[in-house]
Structure 1
C-alpha cells in the first residue's frame, strides 16, 4: 500500500512533478479527442481544462482533488451547434450550460440535492447516457472506415483503426497499475506509430510549427461578436442536466477514495459551481465544456496521493502544453482512423455506462413504467426526432429525449420514492468505486 499524501500536503518537488505528469497523461487522450471530433482546437482544450481545474480547486477551497477535462456528453451538441452558428455559436451554448450549473448550485445550497435526483432519476439519466454513446456510433465508424478527404471506404485506414482498437482493448484489460488507467493514450500512441509505418501521417505541420505558439483562442468581443441563438441553447443546455448527475456520482466515488464526505464539505454546491465556472472559462476561450474526470479519480485511488497541489501541477502542465506549438501540431497530425479506432471503444463505453447505471440502481425494466420511459428516450434520441418550432428554432433529438424522459417520469404513476442523501451516497459510491476510471 502506498503511503497516503493528504489533500493539503505538498510533495517533494521531484515527486510532485512526476505525480502531476501522471495526471496529465491520464486525462490527455480523452481531453484532446473531444476537440478533434468537434473541430475545436486541442491546444485551447488543454489550456481551458488547466485553467478550469485551477479555478475549480479555488472554488472548492482546495478540498477536492479532482481534474476537469473535455466532456464527451457535449460532442453531438457541439457538432450540431457548430453547424448552426459555427464554433462561436457552440461557445455561446457552452456558456449557458455553465450558467445552468451555477443556478443548480445555488438551488442545492438552499434546498439540498434530493430535488435533482427526483428530477433526474436513473431511469431517465441511464437511457439518455446511452443515447449519447449510441448517437456517436456512426461518427466512430465513419472515422475508422472512410477516407476523410474522399468519404470513400479505405481498407488501409480501417486496418489501422482496428489495430488501434485492439491495442486499446488489450491495454484496458491486461495492463495493471497506472498503465491500466491510460489505455486511450496507449492506443493513440500505438495507432499513431502504426500509421507512421504505413505512410499515412503527414509530418509537415510539426516541422513548420513554432516551439512556442499561442493557441487559436475564441474570445468574445475580441475575435468575434457573440450572438445568442435559442436553438443552440436548446441543443446544449439540457445536456448539462445529465452531466450534473454524473458529477454527483464522481463526487461520491471520490469521497469514498479520500475517506471524506465531499458532498457535505466543502459541499456539492461548491463542486457543481466549480464545474460550471470551468465550463464558462472554456466558453470564453474556445474550448469544449469541462467535467470531472473518472480517469484522474482512478489515478488518485491508485496512488493514494490526494494532494490538490498535485492536481494543480497537472493543470499547470496542461496550460504549458497548450502553448507548445510542436505539441499542438503533433495532435493535428493524428489520423482520423486512429481516433476512430479509439472512439469505437470510448463511445461504446459511454453507452454501456448508461446501461450500468440502470443495473447498479436495480432499475426493473420489466416494470411497464420503466420500460416505457427508457424505450421512448432511446428511440427519440437515437432516431433523431426533433420539434421544428419555426424556421430558425428547433429542439433536436438528444435535448428532446431528455425533456420527454423527465416529463414521462413525472406524470406516469408508480414513481419510486427518492432516497435520502445518505442512502444515495452509500448506494452510488459503493457501486461506482468498483470502476473509478470508467
Structure 2
C-alpha cells in the first residue's frame, strides 16, 4: 500500500515505494515515489557529490564567485522540480557551454556584461520552452538533426582548447597529474566512485599543488587560516555563514552573438535529459519537455540576474540514478537544499576559490575534450552517413571555424568561433539541403519519419545500449 502526502507545491508529494527500504530486481523508484527519508537523504547527498566537481569548475574558470553559482544551482534545481511538477528528476548544474562566451565577455565588458548575456540566453531558452510546450518538440528535431547537433556540441569543446592550455602552461606538473588521476580513476573504481573522476582529479591535483606551494590562501578568512595553523583560539572569530557575492547584469547588443548560440546546446541537453529519464523509467515525458526547457530558462535567468553561472541538466546525476535505480525527485530536493546550505557556508566558497591554475588546466583538458567527443558520439549513435556531401560539410566547416576561432564584427555585434560555427552548421545543413531538394540531388540524411528513430535525433546522456550495459 502506498501513501501520498498532500501539498500545495507541484511535485512535492511522493508515494512510498514498497516498504521504503528495498527495490525489487527490475524495478525502479519512480519520480513521484520515494524511499525512506534516511535513504532519500543519502541518495540526495550522492547527487551533490556527483555534480559538485563540474559545477564549481565553471565559475573558477570564468572568474565568477563559486558560492554564488552554487547557490543559484541549488535554487534553480528546486525551481526545475516545481515547474516540471516533479515529473523530471534532474539537477541543474553549471553549463560548460557558457565558458567561452563568458570568458570573452569578461574581457570586454566585465562580469556585468557576461551576466547580461547569460540572462538573455535564459530568456530565449524560456521562450523556446513555451513554443515546445504548445507546439511539440518535432520542429527542434527538424531544425537540429543529429549531424547539426553533433557539430555544435563538438565545436564548443574544441573552441575551448586554448583556454585549457593557458592554465596547463602555468603549472604543467600539477596539470599532468590532475589529468592522469581523472583518466585512471574512471576505469579503476566501480560504482559512484568511478563516476567522480572529475572530483577525484581535482582533489588529488589540489593536494599536489599544496605540496608544490601553488595554492594562494590570501582570500581565505584570516581567522580560519590561523585556526588551520594550530591557533584554535581563532575558531570563534571565524565567519562561518554569510551571503555570497552578488552582481547585477548589464546588457550590450554586441554580446548577443556570443551567447545566443549556447541556447542550441541547452535545448539539446534538456531534451536529451528528458528522453533519457523517460527511457529509464519507461514513462512518456514528452508532454513535459517544454516545461523542462522553461524551467532551465528561468533558472538561467535567475542566475544571470544576480551573479551565478548559466545552468543545464546534468548527465553526472543520470549516472547516480542509473546505478541506484532511484529516480525520485525527493532526492533532488535534498540535493538542491544541501547545495544552498553549502553556498551559505563562507569557508566552502573561500576554499573552492583557492583551486590553482594547474588543477583547472588539467580538469579543463579532460572536460573540453570530452565535450568535443560527445559531439562525435552523437554522430556515431545516430549513424550519420558522412558519404553525403552535406553531412561532411556540416561536420567539417564549423569545426575549423571554432578551432581557429574565426571572428567577424558587425557594428557592435561580435561573432566568434562558437557563434559563427553554430550558425554555419545550421546554414550549411538547411541551405545545401534546400538546393539539393530543388535540383533533385542527394540531400543527405534528414530526421526519420518514424517517431522512435526521430527521438534519437538529439543528444541523450544514456541510450538503450548504454542503459542495458
Q: Aligned residue for 2:446? A: 417
Give the deviation of 1:186 after TM superposition. 0.9
Matched, 1:242 2:242: no
Give the deviation of 1:85 after TM superposition. 1.8
Matched, 1:212 2:241: yes
Q: Aligned residue for 1:47? A: 71
Matched, 1:180 2:194: yes
1:91 counterpart SS class:
helix
How far apart, CA to CA, are the structure 1 residues paired with 2:136 and 2:339?
A: 34
Matched, 1:404 2:424: yes
CA contact (8 A) 1:60 1:274 kept: yes
Give the deviation of 1:426 after TM superposition. 5.9
Q: Aligned residue for 1:124? A: 148
How far apart, CA to CA, are the structure 2 residues paired with 1:425 and 1:100?
A: 23
CA contact (8 A) 1:36 1:42 kept: yes
Give the deviation of 1:111 after TM superposition. 2.1
CA root-mean-square deviation: 1.9
2:414 counterpart SS class:
strand
How far apart, CA to CA, are the structure 1 residues paired with 2:87 and 2:152?
A: 31
Q: Could you give the per-residue CA deviations for residues 134-160 of structure 1, whole angstroms, max 9, x where no partner exists?
A: 1111111221222xxxxxxxxxx2111
How far apart, CA to CA, are the structure 1 residues paired with 2:115 and 2:317?
A: 25
Matched, 1:395 2:415: yes
Matched, 1:348 2:348: no
Give the deviation of 1:203 after TM superposition. 3.5
How far apart, CA to CA, are the structure 2 residues paired with 1:195 and 1:240?
A: 36
Q: Could you give the per-residue CA deviations for residues 54-96 of structure 1, whole angstroms, max 9, x where no partner exists?
A: 0000000011111110000111011112222211111111111
Please say which structure displays the higher CA radius of gyration: 2
How far apart, CA to CA, are the structure 2 residues paired with 1:17 and 1:11?
A: 9
2:220 counterpart SS class:
helix
Matched, 1:309 2:299: no
How far apart, CA to CA, are the structure 2 residues paired with 1:14 and 1:189?
A: 28
Matched, 1:233 2:233: no
CA contact (8 A) 2:246 2:307 kept: yes
Give me the TM-score of the superposition, normalised by structure 2.
Answer: 0.85
Equivalence map 1:363-374=2 (5 Å)? 363-374=384-395
Q: Aligned residue for 1:196? A: 210
How far apart, CA to CA, are the structure 2 residues paired with 1:319 and 1:433?
A: 34
How far apart, CA to CA, are the structure 2 residues paired with 1:227 and 1:200?
A: 34
Change (3 A) 1:172 1:375: same
Change (3 A) 1:114 1:184: same
Give the deviation of 1:276 after TM superposition. 0.9
Q: Could you give the per-residue CA deviations for residues 297-337 of structure 1, whole angstroms, max 9, x where no partner exists?
A: 11011101111111011011101111111111110111110
How far apart, CA to CA, are the structure 1 residues paired with 2:428 and 2:91?
A: 35
CA contact (8 A) 1:184 1:342 kept: yes
Give the deviation of 1:8 after TM superposition. 2.3
Matched, 1:35 2:59: yes
Give me the TM-score of the superposition, normalised by structure 1.
Answer: 0.90
Change (3 A) 1:20 1:173: same
How far apart, CA to CA, are the structure 1 residues paired with 2:173 and 2:23?
A: 41
How many residues are treated as equivalent by the alignment?
Answer: 417
Structure 1 unmatched ranges of 5 or more = 147-156, 221-225
Give the deviation of 1:415 after TM superposition. 4.5
Q: Aligned residue for 1:151? A: none
Give the deviation of 1:430 after TM superposition. 9.8
Give the deviation of 1:421 after TM superposition. 4.0
CA contact (8 A) 1:172 1:180 kept: yes
1:287 counterpart SS class:
coil
1:284 counterpart SS class:
helix
Matched, 1:281 2:281: no
Q: Aligned residue for 2:111? A: 87
How far apart, CA to CA, are the structure 1 residues paired with 2:465 and 2:319?
A: 10
CA contact (8 A) 1:40 1:286 kept: yes
How far apart, CA to CA, are the structure 1 residues paired with 2:408 and 2:461?
A: 40
Aligned with residue 173 of structure 2, among 145, 155, 159: 159
1:20 counterpart SS class:
helix
